[in-house]
């Protein structure tokens, strides 16, 4: 029987849209199915709206600091619906651009849930279609702990739509989303308690940076409770929530945000009908190029639970489409991927932490720069930025670069090129400083 499509993509998020567009560019007949909105987590309920909230929230500090720079700012008031609605309008605009890209490349879009019906067969919108290749790019969904009352909390899916800001929020988690929303909500005037199950924030990050974020967050007024795990949530009076922890403490708030990790969205896709065994947490096991054990079935992005980052999913989708339909197969290098936490202030990192580098290389040299950014000095803010460079002692290669401070993500993206290219500390030192910047510290650490 003839195939209806060469390539059927389930999920129009970052990875799926890139794969569809590139495959269509190679001349493939492509379809995409999306049950929610075109754009996926990053555009609709993740990176983009989050970053806009981070920017919006940061005005709180800028406006407070303005007086030290001679600006008389009158009555300051924040209106959540204005920020929320502008952000949601931008999300809608971007979703439209994603759809337009699919349309202009001749990709057929099914605005419906799709499931695998059998080998090379997809059930979508009440019909069954055949495809030579099928890609699962369905992303991940927020995890919610299995405790009584957990459903009273919300996740990052819902937070962008809040009708009003709560007076008090409890955020459970110590990772990316928890720290980003702790910062956003705190800047917007919400009283924030952050519950962290271990003894540290951002496990896996360079500990010196995580400790600096914790110190700054506490100084700003965010209450961080370490070694704390919620065991029960219940409704309090007047619409409040009460969270009980394992020590028997009770905490009350108006909103509870679960930010405890994201699980691959692989359930109910019909994968069992074709005998595909899932990995831990429901991840779809794939090789480096995104192929599953079935020759016609592929997966990219968060549903494979390798690195849950948008640029990685985009590359994986691109590589797969080139490999299946182009002339030059390639696969994504998952080593040395930079990432950032858009907390207040943000952290960014590329390469190995000091501990990881010692384990991998043995002797390492570590360089730090701990300084108060000029703007903070004049504003009278005590907040200090911190850099850490990790250098393999034998080769002199910079194998890790880490920073917390204003603009850290912007600076680290550029440094990531140097680290990925394997440049040495001597190369950094040979480079003249660009003064006065925060980035110049990179070439001044001795």
Rounded least distance, CB 175 to ligand NDP, Å: 2
Q: Could you tell me where the beta strands, DSSP code E, fall in 276-424? A: 297-299, 339-341, 347-351, 364-371, 385-392, 398-404
Cis peptide before 436 (omega within 30 of 0): yes
- Of the candidates 199, 180, 188, the residue with the CA atom closest to the CA atom of residue 162: 188
- The secondary structure of 141-185 as a DSSP string is EE----STTGGGSB-HHHHTT-SS--SEEEEE-SSHHHHHHHHHH
Check if 111 is active-site.
no
Task: Specify which residues 129 forms β-bridges with.
Answer: 122
| Cα first-last separation, the chain | 68
Asked if residue 10 lies in contact with residue 133, where contact means CB atoms within 8 angstroms, the answer is no
Q: Kindly name the residue from 244, 298, 334, 435 that is annotated as catalytic.
A: 435
177 or 224: CB nearest ligand NDP: 177
Q: How far apart (Å, rounded) are the C-alpha atoms in residues 421 and 408?
A: 20
Task: Specify which residues 364 forms β-bridges with.
Answer: 392
Structure tokens at 58: 């940061």
4 or 180: CB nearest ligand NDP: 180
185 or 259: CB nearest ligand NDP: 259
Rounded least distance, CB 53 to ligand NDP, Å: 12
Rounded least distance, CB 91 to ligand NDP, Å: 16
99 or 343: CB nearest ligand NDP: 343
HSE (side-chain half, CA atoms, 13 Å) at 132? 12
180 or 254: CB nearest ligand NDP: 180
- Which residues bind to ligand NDP, rule: CB under 6 A? 145, 172-178, 180, 197-198, 203, 229, 259-262, 308-309, 339-342
Asked if residue 292 lies in contact with residue 299, where contact means CB atoms within 8 angstroms, the answer is yes
Residues in the chain: 446
Rounded least distance, CB 29 to ligand NDP, Å: 33
Asked if residue 95 lies in contact with residue 41, where contact means CB atoms within 8 angstroms, the answer is no
Rounded least distance, CB 158 to ligand NDP, Å: 14
- Of the candidates 10, 13, 15, 9, the residue with the CA atom closest to the CA atom of residue 40: 13
Rounded least distance, CB 302 to ligand NDP, Å: 8
114 or 348: CB nearest ligand NDP: 348
- Which strands sit side by side in the sheet containing 250-253, from one edge to the other? 230-235, 241-245, 250-253
- Of the candidates 47, 32, 1, 123, the residue with the CA atom closest to the CA atom of residue 321: 32
Name the residues annotated as catalytic: 435
């Amino acid at each position: 029987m003839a195939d209806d499509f060469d390539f059927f993509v389930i999920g129009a998020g970052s990875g799926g849209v890139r794969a569809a567009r590139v495959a269509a560019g190679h001349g493939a007949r492509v379809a995409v199915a999306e049950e929610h909105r075109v754009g996926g987590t990053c555009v609709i309920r993740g990176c983009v709206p989050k970053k806009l909230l981070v920017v919006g929230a940061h005005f709180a500090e800028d406006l407070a600091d303005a007086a030290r720079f001679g600006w008389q700012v009158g009555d300051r008031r924040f209106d959540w619906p204005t920020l929320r609605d502008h952000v949601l309008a931008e999300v809608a605009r971007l979703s439209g651009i994603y759809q337009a890209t699919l349309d202009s490349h001749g990709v057929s879009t099914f605005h419906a849930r799709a499931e695998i019906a059998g080998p090379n067969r997809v059930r979508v919108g009440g019909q069954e279609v055949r495809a030579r290749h099928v890609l699962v790019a369905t992303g991940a969904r927020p995890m919610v702990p299995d405790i009584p009352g957990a459903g009273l909390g919300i996740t990052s899916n819902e937070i962008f739509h809040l009708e009003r800001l709560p007076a008090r929020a409890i955020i459970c988690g110590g990772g990316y989303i928890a720290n980003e929303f702790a910062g956003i909500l705190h800047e917007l005037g919400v009283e924030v308690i952050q519950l962290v199950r271990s003894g540290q924030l951002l496990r896996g990050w360079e500990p010196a940076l995580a400790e600096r974020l914790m110190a700054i967050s506490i100084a700003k007024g965010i209450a961080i409770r370490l070694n704390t795990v919620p065991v029960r949530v219940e409704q309090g009076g007047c619409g409040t929530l009460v969270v009980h922890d394992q020590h028997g403490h009770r905490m009350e708030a108006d909103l509870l945000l679960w930010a405890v990790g994201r699980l691959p969205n692989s359930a109910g896709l019909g994968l069992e009908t074709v005998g595909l065994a899932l990995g831990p947490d429901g991840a779809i096991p794939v090789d480096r190029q995104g192929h599953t054990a079935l020759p016609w079935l592929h997966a990219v992005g968060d549903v494979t639970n390798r690195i849950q980052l948008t640029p990685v999913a985009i590359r994986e989708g691109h590589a797969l489409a080139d490999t299946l339909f182009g002339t030059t197969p390639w696969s994504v290098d998952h080593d040395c991927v930079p990432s950032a936490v858009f907390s207040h202030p943000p952290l960014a990192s590329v390469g190995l932490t000091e501990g990881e580098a010692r384990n991998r290389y043995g002797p390492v040299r570590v360089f730090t720069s701990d300084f108060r950014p000029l703007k903070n000095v004049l504003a009278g803010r005590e907040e200090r930025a911190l850099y850490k460079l990790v250098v393999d002692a034998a080769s002199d290669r910079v194998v890790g670069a880490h920073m917390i401070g204003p603009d850290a993500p912007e600076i680290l993206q550029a440094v990531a090129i140097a680290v990925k290219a394997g440049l040495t500390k001597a190369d950094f030192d040979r480079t003249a400083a660009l003064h006065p910047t925060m980035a110049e510290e990179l070439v001044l650490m001795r």
